[in-house]
């Protein structure tokens, strides 16, 4: 990349430096933090993900940090930067999973999937180790039944293997890219800066962090009271939610889109203030690229419809149906082409420096010095830095081998095959080679990209193609824990750990503490929220609006391994894939020729990628406010720091309202049950 493209990347690189001292950050505060997350934050996160489509996530982290910071201050103690990172890390484990509420929230999606019309209409069978299919069991709306034992133990076992796997290949790649190649990881400082904002400091120049956080918190509470609190309280009291602001969006598709005006064009408006603030935080050119992609989509869809390429859409379709029909007719194939182009572009950023070295060797002394430096760096991988608390690279690679073999053994047990019904056995030999060839190579590519530009990329349809090429027949493979993972994305987290001065031992101790807490609280609160109302239902607007689309997309893909015709295979159009690849390569070449930032092309792909269109507009509004107002007042680097902390406070305020809402709903449900 040239200097003009590197400017925004360098801005993010300069936000934070590696400290001189490290500590584990683990202690009694971590123990109480784990219990607080499991008992207080987790139910609110599940509830918000069903209502809004997003859990507490960062909000839970900030609320927990605030609570413990205040307790520490009144005890004449301080909350260190490393302790804050451990809380953030712990919240990431606790609030992961399908619905941002721990691994067991996957069961809520599974119970819907086994009943979804989209699944049955496409001839898919959901295995019993995913969810029981007996209507009598499902109608009771509780996981405390014998038929749910196998799905519960399956998820628990996979969660344990996943947490062990977190310290495998991803950690080895972090050591290589960060300490041997010495890549900058431009987005890691942005993460670490927000985490350290509330650390105790005597420097008065740092007091701005608390003021920004408080401002964001007040805005989040006020907005959350209207956006989340009002519907939750009215639903609990009157049995039907009352909303001033549409949740999760206002669907205008069936009103605006007609044969004469904007045919086959999904249109919606999202009134989430958090997206506006997020637009101020994200790289400006990435947001602009997304907006340009949206404008191209709005102009392209009518042309595609009139050209006979969007044949499934009919007037009167709502947003979900329109997006799915367009996905099948065009955007599935076009998106594959775009992703291929991005992969080739990203791979070129890695290969180009190597090619330059091969073409023209430098001065002999310089080459000798460079080789000596590389050898010393490689040797350093096998020397443990006691200050950082490094783990042996050999142990990390051993963890990767162990976890991968564990995945394969579990798949062999779950899919033994049945010759009478024609259901195939798990093709373990195929995936054994896949896991130890493709996964390490692709993970390194993404780790390298994360270190260079803060982006990752995927070769499209690799998972789907591997299932088809394996020769497996049946639908069970789509639910199994296949060892196809991208460990490159986990490298940033280890870099953030280093930037905050946290030792690796602190993360390992946190894992041992959080795993049992998450398993217990996740199943308890998932069951309690399912008892409140059917999922999906009007009580959970996001699930009611978009789970159908998710089930349709999943079912379409899963037909690829069924005998007979497959809608997924039929939806793949090689010509359209070529159009997408050509468009992506030409667009990148044009942007590079004009000297425009690299973030623009990644954002444009996102805008063309059939995400909900209404999300992009508020982000663009926020980006314009930040670029042309806040940046002019506070300066480019300062305003980024300010809005990052404001966003953290906003999510914390929303989280407080979300927790209060779910607590009110659970109490109201309990009292109504006791009354009768």
Q: Is the peptide bond before 263 cis (omega within 30 degrees of 0)?
A: no
Which residues have CB under 8 Å from 214's CB, separation 6+? 649
Across residues 495-524, what is the average pLDDT?
Answer: 90
What is the count of structural domains for the chain? 1
Predicted local confidence at residue 400, as pLDDT: 92
Predicted local confidence at residue 675, as pLDDT: 44
Quote the percentage of the chain above a pLDDT of 70: 79
In whole angstroms, what is the distance from residue 533 CA to residue 141 CA? 9
In whole angstroms, what is the distance from residue 445 CA to residue 342 CA? 12
Cα 581 from chain centroid?
Answer: 25
Is residue 17 scored above 90 in pLDDT? no
User: Degrees (nearest 5) of the Cα angle 138, 144, 150?
Assistant: 80
| Confidence label for 387 from pLDDT (cuts 50, 70 and 90) | confident
Q: How would you classify residue 263: left for phi > 0, otherwise alpha for psi between -120 and 50, otherwise beta?
A: beta
Across residues 506-520, what is the average pLDDT?
Answer: 91
Q: What is the pTM of this model?
A: 0.73
Across residues 149-166, what is the average pLDDT?
Answer: 91
Convert the pLDDT of each residue in 594-647 to its tens digit.
777 766 766 776 666 556 678 889 989 999 999 899 888 888 767 877 887 788
Across residues 30-52, what is the average pLDDT?
Answer: 82
Predicted local confidence at residue 354, as pLDDT: 55
Query: For residue 377, what are the CA distances in angstroms to 104, 182, 369, 373?
Result: 42, 10, 12, 6
Predicted local confidence at residue 349, as pLDDT: 61
Residue, of 510 and 20, whose pLDDT is higher: 510
Residue, of 353 and 538, whose pLDDT is higher: 538
User: Between the CA atoms of 85, 87, 89 and 90, what dihedral angle is there, to the nearest 10 degrees?
Assistant: 160
Predicted local confidence at residue 3, as pLDDT: 45
In whole angstroms, what is the distance from residue 292 CA to residue 596 CA? 14
Task: Tokens 């999606």: give the residue.
Answer: 109
| Confidence label for 676 from pLDDT (cuts 50, 70 and 90) | very low
CB 276 within 8 A of CB 630: no
Convert the pLDDT of each residue in 91-128 to its tens digit.
888 877 777 778 888 999 999 999 988 888 887 888 88
Closest CA to 197 of 363, 327, 15, 45: 15
Convert the pLDDT of each residue in 388-401 to its tens digit.
888 888 899 999 99
Residue, of 41 and 252, whose pLDDT is higher: 252
Q: In which domain, by residue range, is 251 found?
A: 3-675
Convert the pLDDT of each residue in 198-255 to its tens digit.
665 545 555 677 788 788 889 989 998 998 888 888 877 777 778 888 887 888 888 8
Is residue 585 scored above 60 in pLDDT? yes
In whole angstroms, what is the distance from residue 193 CA to residue 612 CA? 29
User: Degrees (nearest 5) of the Cα angle 473, 486, 124?
Assistant: 25
The phi, psi pair for 502, rounded to 5°, reads -100, 135
Average confidence score pLDDT of the chain: 79
The phi, psi pair for 251, rounded to 5°, reads -85, 115
The Cα diameter of the chain in Å comes to: 88
């Amino acid at each position: 990349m040239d200097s003009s493209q590197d400017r925004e990347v360098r801005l993010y690189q300069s936000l934070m430096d590696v400290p001189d001292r490290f500590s584990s950050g683990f202690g009694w505060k971590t123990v109480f933090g784990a219990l607080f997350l499991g008992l207080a934050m987790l139910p609110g996160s599940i509830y918000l993900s069903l209502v809004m489509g997003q859990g507490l996530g960062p909000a839970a982290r900030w609320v927990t940090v605030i609570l413990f910071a205040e307790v520490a201050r009144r005890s004449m103690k301080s909350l260190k930067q490393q302790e804050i990172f451990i809380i953030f890390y712990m919240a990431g484990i606790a609030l992961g999973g399908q619905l941002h509420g721990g691994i067991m929230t996957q069961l809520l999606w599974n119970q819907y999937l086994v009943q979804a019309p989209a699944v049955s209409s496409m001839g898919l069978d959901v295995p019993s180790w995913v969810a029981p299919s007996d209507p009598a069991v499902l109608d009771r709306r509780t996981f405390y039944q014998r038929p749910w034992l196998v799905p519960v133990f399956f998820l628990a076992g996979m969660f344990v293997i996943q947490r062990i796997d977190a310290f495998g290949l991803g950690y080895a790649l972090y050591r290589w890219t960060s300490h041997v190649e010495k890549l900058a990881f431009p987005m890691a400082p942005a993460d670490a800066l927000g985490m350290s904002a509330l650390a105790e400091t005597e420097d008065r120049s740092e007091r701005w962090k608390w003021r920004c956080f408080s401002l964001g918190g007040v805005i989040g509470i006020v907005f959350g009271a209207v956006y989340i609190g009002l519907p939750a309280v009215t639903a609990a009291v009157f049995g039907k939610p009352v909303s001033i602001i549409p949740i999760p969006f206002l669907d205008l598709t069936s009103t605006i889109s007609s044969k004469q005006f904007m045919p086959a064009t999904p249109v919606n408006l999202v009134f989430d203030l958090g997206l506006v603030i997020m637009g101020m935080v994200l790289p400006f050119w990435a947001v602009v690229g997304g907006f340009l992609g949206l404008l191209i989509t709005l102009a392209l869809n009518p042309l595609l419809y009139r050209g006979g390429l969007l044949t499934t859409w009919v007037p009167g379709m709502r947003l979900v149906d329109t997006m799915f029909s367009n996905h099948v007719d065009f955007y599935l194939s076009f998106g594959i082409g775009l992703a291929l182009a991005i992969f080739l572009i990203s791979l070129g950023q890695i290969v180009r420096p190597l090619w330059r070295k091969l073409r023209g060797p430098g001065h002999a002394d310089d080459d000798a010095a460079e080789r000596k430096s590389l050898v010393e760096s490689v040797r350093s991988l096998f020397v443990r830095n006691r200050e950082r608390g490094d783990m042996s690279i050999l142990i990390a690679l051993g963890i990767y081998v162990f976890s991968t073999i564990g995945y394969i053994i579990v798949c062999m047990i779950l899919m033994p095959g049945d010759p009478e019904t024609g259901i195939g056995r798990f093709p373990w030999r195929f995936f054994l080679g896949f896991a130890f060839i493709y996964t390490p190579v692709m993970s390194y590519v993404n780790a390298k990209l994360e270190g260079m530009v803060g982006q990752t990329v995927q070769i499209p349809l690799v998972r789907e193609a591997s299932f088809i090429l394996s020769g497996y027949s049946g639908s069970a493979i789509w639910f199994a824990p296949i060892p196809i993972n991208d460990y490159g994305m986990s490298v940033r987290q280890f870099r953030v750990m280093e930037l905050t001065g946290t030792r690796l031992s602190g993360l390992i101790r946190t894992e041992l503490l959080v795993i049992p807490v998450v398993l217990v609280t996740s199943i308890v609160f998932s069951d309690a929220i399912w008892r409140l109302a059917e999922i999906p239902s009007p009580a959970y607007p996001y699930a009611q609006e978009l789970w159908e689309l998710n089930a349709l997309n999943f079912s379409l893909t899963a037909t690829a391994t069924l005998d007979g015709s497959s809608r997924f295979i039929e939806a793949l159009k090689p010509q359209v894939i070529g159009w997408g690849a050509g468009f992506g390569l030409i667009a990148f070449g044009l942007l590079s020729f004009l000297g425009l930032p690299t973030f623009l092309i990644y954002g444009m792909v996102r805008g063309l990628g059939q995400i909900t269109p209404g999300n992009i507009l508020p982000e663009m509004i926020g980006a314009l406010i930040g670029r042309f107002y806040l940046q002019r007042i506070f300066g480019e680097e300062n305003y980024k720091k300010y809005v990052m902390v404001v966003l953290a406070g906003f999510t914390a305020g929303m989280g407080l309202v979300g927790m209060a809402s779910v607590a009110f709903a659970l109490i109201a449900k309990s009292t109504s049950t006791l009354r009768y």
